[in-house]
C-alpha cells in the first residue's frame, strides 16, 4: 500500500513539473520573436487546469500523511495495551501468540508444563513470576541415580539422569540370595523384591572382611514388606572377601570390590538413592523397569521421614554438646549408657576420668557440630556421623566423630564413641 501511494505521488510531481516547464518555454519563445513574424501559435496555458491538478496533489499528500499518522498512533496504542496486559513481554521481547481456548502446552525436552486458563488471552512465559497461577514447572526429581537389580539376569544397573533423560551408565554382575523367590522371613536366604532406598553406608573398618571395602544399607523391610508380614533385616549392597568373586549371599546384593568402589564414586554417601529389585526374565531393558512417577512420590515420602530422623538426632547432639561445654560431668554422664559404653578402647570409668581432667585443663570449651548424617538406623539402634570442631582457650581440633546409640525406654544413649577421617563425613 505504501509503495503504491509513493509511486502515484511521484507521478503527479513529474506531471506538474512537465507542465510548468512547457508553460515557461512557451512564454520565452513568444517574447523572442517579433509579432509580425508568423509562427505557429503555441497552445495557451490552462491555469484553471493546473490549479485543479495542484489541488489533487495536495489532497493526495494530505491523505497519505493522515494515513501514516493514524497507523503510527494505532500501533503505539496496541503496544501500550499489550504491555499493560503482559508487562514481561516488554522486558523479554517475546512474541506472544493469542490463545483462543484453554491449552496445555508440554515441552518434554525441558520437563516444563504450562497451563493457561479460560480467562487468559496470552501466554506468559516469565519463570521468575512465582505469583502467576497459570504456570506449572515440573519439580526436579530428588535423586540423580537409580539402581536397578534384576535377579533373573543377576545383573545390577546404575541409571543416571542426564539432561532430563535416564541412561544406563554402568552394569555389574551380581550375586543374590542362595534361594529363589521373594524374601518372606528372617534367615530364608532369599533376596527381597520391591522398591527400596539407601539409608546408610558402612565403611570397611566397621565391617567384617567378608563384606568388602564398604556397604550400602537398604531400608528392608519397607512399609509394603511390613504389611505383608515379611521379616528380616540387614539387606545391603556390599563387596566380597579380598581376592574373591560374588557367588551367592544370604539375601544381600553382592558385586566385586572394584565395581563396588566404582559405584561408590558415583553415589558417595548414597542416602536416598532408589534401589529397585525385580525378578523379570521377560524384561531385559532396565530403563523400562522403574515407574518414574511413582518413584518420585515414594522418594519424597522417604526423604520426609529421613528429615524427621535427622532432626531428632540433631536435637540430641545439640543437647549433648551443650552438656560437654558446661564442663559438668554429672550432666554430661546422662547422655551415656555407662554400663555398656566403649570409647576409643576405654570403658566408661576410664573415659569419665579423662573427661574430668579435660574439663579442668581448659577454661572454656566450645563444640560445633556439622554435616550430620545417620549411617545406620533401626528402631532401637543408630550410628550417627558428623564433623566436630573442638575449640578451647588453648587449641582447636577438627575431626570426624561417630556415635553409636541405643534406644533405652524411648531415650537414646551413647554406647560407643570414636573418631573417623573427615573425608568420610564429607563424601
Strand partners, 112: 107, 137
Neighbour tally for 182: CB within 10 Å? 16
Helix (H/G/I), strand (E/B), else coil: 408: coil
Output the pLDDT for position 101: 33
Output the pLDDT for position 329: 95
Give the C-alpha separation, 153 to 147, whole Å.
Answer: 14
Q: Hey, what CATH class is 302-425 in?
A: alpha beta
Output the pLDDT for position 160: 95
Alpha helices (runs of H) in 86-199, residue ranges in sequence order: 87-92
* Residue spans per domain, the chain: 2-85, 96-138, 145-290, 302-425
Q: What is the DSSP string of 243-286?
A: T-----BSSSEE--HHHHHHHHHHHTT-TT-EEEEE--TT---G
Output the pLDDT for position 275: 97
Q: Give the closest residue to 221 by CA, choosing from 207, 212, 231, 208.
A: 231
Give the C-alpha separation, 236 to 270, whole Å.
Answer: 12
Output the pLDDT for position 425: 87
Given this chain, do its domains 145-290 and 302-425 carry the same CATH topology?
A: no
Q: Mean pLDDT for each consecutive 10-residue tract of the chain (427 residues)? A: 56 57 52 42 51 65 67 56 42 34 34 32 30 32 88 96 91 96 95 95 92 96 93 94 92 97 95 95 91 90 90 94 94 95 93 94 94 89 94 93 93 94 85
Three cell numbers written together for 63? 491523505
User: Any residues with CB less than 8 A from the CB of 140 and at least 6 apart, and which?
Assistant: none
Output the pLDDT for position 383: 94
Three cell numbers written together for 317? 547432639
232, 251 contact by CB (below 8 A):
yes
Q: What architecture does CATH give domain 145-290?
A: Beta Barrel (2.40)
Q: What is the pTM of this model?
A: 0.62
Amino acid at each position: 500500500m505504501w509503495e503504491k501511494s509513493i509511486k502515484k505521488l511521484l507521478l503527479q510531481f513529474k506531471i506538474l513539473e512537465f507542465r510548468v516547464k512547457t508553460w515557461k518555454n512557451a512564454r520565452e519563445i513568444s517574447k523572442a520573436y517579433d509579432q509580425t513574424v508568423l509562427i505557429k501559435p503555441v497552445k495557451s496555458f490552462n491555469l484553471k487546469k493546473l490549479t485543479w491538478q495542484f489541488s489533487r496533489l495536495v489532497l493526495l499528500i494530505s491523505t497519505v500523511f493522515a494515513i501514516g499518522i493514524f497507523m503510527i498512533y494505532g500501533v503505539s496504542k496496541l503496544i501500550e495495551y499489550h504491555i499493560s496486559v503482559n508487562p514481561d513481554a516488554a522486558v523479554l521481547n517475546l512474541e506472544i501468540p493469542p490463545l483462543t481456548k484453554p491449552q496445555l502446552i508440554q515441552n518434554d525436552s525441558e520437563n516444563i508444563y504450562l497451563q493457561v486458563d479460560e480467562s487468559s488471552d496470552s501466554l506468559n512465559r516469565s519463570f521468575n513470576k512465582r505469583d502467576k497461577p497459570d504456570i506449572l514447572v515440573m519439580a526436579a526429581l530428588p535423586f540423580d541415580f537409580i539402581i536397578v537389580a534384576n535377579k533373573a539376569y543377576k545383573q545390577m544397573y546404575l541409571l543416571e539422569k542426564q539432561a532430563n533423560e535416564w541412561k544406563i551408565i554402568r552394569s555389574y554382575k551380581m550375586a543374590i540370595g542362595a534361594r529363589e523367590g521373594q524374601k518372606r522371613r528372617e534367615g530364608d536366604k532369599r533376596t527381597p523384591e520391591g522398591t527400596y532406598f539407601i539409608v546408610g553406608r558402612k565403611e570397611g573398618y566397621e565391617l567384617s572382611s567378608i563384606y568388602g571395602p564398604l556397604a550400602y544399607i537398604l531400608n528392608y523391610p519397607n512399609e509394603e514388606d511390613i504389611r505383608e508380614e515379611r521379616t528380616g533385616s540387614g539387606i545391603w549392597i556390599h563387596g566380597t572377601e579380598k581376592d574373591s568373586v560374588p557367588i551367592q549371599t544370604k539375601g544381600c546384593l553382592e558385586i566385586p570390590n572394584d565395581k563396588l568402589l566404582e559405584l561408590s564414586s558415583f553415589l558417595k554417601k548414597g542416602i536416598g538413592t532408589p534401589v529397585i529389585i525385580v525378578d523379570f526374565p521377560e524384561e531385559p531393558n532396565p530403563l523400562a523397569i522403574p515407574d518414574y512417577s511413582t518413584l518420585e512420590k515414594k522418594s519424597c515420602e522417604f526423604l520426609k521421614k529421613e528429615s524427621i530422623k535427622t532432626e531428632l538426632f540433631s536435637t540430641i547432639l545439640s543437647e549433648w554438646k551443650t552438656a560437654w561445654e558446661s564442663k559438668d560431668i554429672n550432666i554430661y554422664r546422662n547422655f551415656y549408657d555407662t554400663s555398656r559404653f566403649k570409647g576409643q578402647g576405654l570403658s566408661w570409668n576410664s573415659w569419665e576420668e579423662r573427661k574430668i581432667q579435660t574439663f579442668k585443663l581448659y577454661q572454656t570449651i566450645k563444640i560445633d557440630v556439622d554435616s550430620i548424617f545417620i549411617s545406620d538406623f533401626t528402631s532401637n539402634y543408630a550410628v550417627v556421623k558428623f564433623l566436630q570442631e573442638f575449640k578451647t582457650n588453648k587449641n582447636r581440633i577438627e575431626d570426624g566423630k561417630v556415635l553409636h546409640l541405643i534406644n533405652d525406654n524411648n531415650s537414646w544413649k551413647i554406647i560407643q564413641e570414636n573418631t573417623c577421617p573427615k573425608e568420610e563425613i564429607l563424601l
